[in-house]
Amino acid sequence: MPINKDFIGKSYPASPPYLVGREKIREFATAIGDNNPAFHSVEAAQALGYSDVIAPPTFAFAVAFSTMAAAIGDPDLGIDYRFVVHGEEHFEYARPIIAGDELVVINTIEEINYVRSNEMMTVRQDLQTVDGEHVVTARNTLVSRGTAPAEEA
Amino acid sequence: MPTLAEVNVGDELPAQSFPLQRLNLIQYCGASGDFNVIHWNERIATMVGLPNVIAHGMLTMAEAGRVLTDWAGDPGRVVKYGTRFTKPVVVPDDDKGATVDVSAVVTEKGEDGTVTVELTATCDGSKVLGKAFGVIKLPAS
């Protein structure tokens, strides 16, 4: 079953708040092998003008990913995740994510189109604080391999 | 930390190489929450047509991003970062794993105090990221 194009433009309610923990940032930085002091040392981050450790740029994905299934796992959307690979990822930052941030994610389906036999779906993920301050916009393009309808492929 | 005045189009950022073994993938699964089975289970990875277990695209992107954040000094100066995932990084279960080599060059200086950097990431000589770029806001002087 192809992805349901009626979902283009659909925006989902804000996710439950995600509290960004200092140890989670350290764990993520360690997992990517990144010893940058701004990700590990409160003093180093404060010397740069931040209130606490900041997160590596791609940490935004981990926050956004945790909300994605709830938003686009809708059976009517018709995505079969066995066929899905990650096609593109883009981030625009108003500021880095900082330990202590309480973030909500608003998922919006921006585009669904066909490229040969593949379907591509781009989801915009706006990360903002619970007080409404915009922090990051992520655009995640998923590729569903070989699932485009034959007549439009 | 570089300033806008001292950076020129064509400048190369220090290149870096990032070795990835199975342990790094498993660690990234836990840290990111992405436990897709193709990143840790060779049996299923090969069943769905992959040559072996592959690294998360986002892990490759994270490694490449270190070339930007290490150069910027303050990682919070990265205001945009984007890429396509063009080829999987295959990580065999041996003592070597895979290595992602990342180079970067300044391609644009904006009026708004930003520089655009194009990234090239390869594994075994093949590009694994496409149209990868970062935009970094630098102090004027």
- Domain count of chain A? 1
Whether residue A40 is contained in a domain is answered as: no
Query: Is B34 in Cβ contact with A33 (below 8 Å)?
Result: no
Residue among A28, A85, A89 whose CB faces B82 most closely: A89
Chain A residues in contact with B14 (beta carbon < 8 A): none
Q: All domains of chain B, ordered by start, with CATH?
A: 4-137 (3.10.129.10)
Closest chain A residue by Cα to residue B57: A86
Interface contacts (A, B; CB < 8 Å): 104
Whether residue A82 is contained in a domain is answered as: yes
**Angstrom distance (rounded) from CA A5 to CA A77:** 8
Whether residue A49 is contained in a domain is answered as: no
Q: How confident is the model at residue A70 (pLDDT cuts 50, 70, 90)?
A: confident
Chain B residues in contact with A58 (beta carbon < 8 A): 58, 61-62, 65, 81
Q: Are B63 and A33 in contact (CB under 8 A)?
A: yes
Q: How confident is the model at residue B141 (pLDDT cuts 50, 70, 90)?
A: confident
Closest chain A residue by Cα to residue B71: A36
> For the segment B99-138, what is each residue's pLDDT rounded down to a tens digit?
999 999 999 999 899 999 999 999 999 999 999 999 999 9
Query: Is A61 in Cβ contact with B32 (below 8 Å)?
Result: yes
Whether residue A137 is contained in a domain is answered as: yes
Q: How confident is the model at residue A124 (pLDDT cuts 50, 70, 90)?
A: very high
A73: domain range?
A: 5-21+55-144
Q: How confident is the model at residue A151 (pLDDT cuts 50, 70, 90)?
A: low
Chain A residues in contact with B32 (beta carbon < 8 A): 28, 31, 61-62, 65
CATH number of the domain where residue A140 is located: 3.10.129.10
Whether residue A38 is contained in a domain is answered as: no
Best mutation target among A86, A92, A122 (most B Cβ atoms within 10 Å) is A86
Residue among A27, A88, A92 whose CB faces B85 most closely: A88
Q: What is the pTM of this model?
A: 0.95
Whether residue A130 is contained in a domain is answered as: yes
Q: Is the pLDDT of residue A79 over 90?
A: no
Query: Is A89 in Cβ contact with B61 (below 8 Å)?
Result: yes
Query: Is A36 in Cβ contact with B70 (below 8 Å)?
Result: yes
Closest chain A residue by Cα to residue B50: A85
Query: Is B58 in Cβ contact with A31 (below 8 Å)?
Result: no
Whether residue A109 is contained in a domain is answered as: yes
Query: Is A95 in Cβ contact with B84 (below 8 Å)?
Result: no
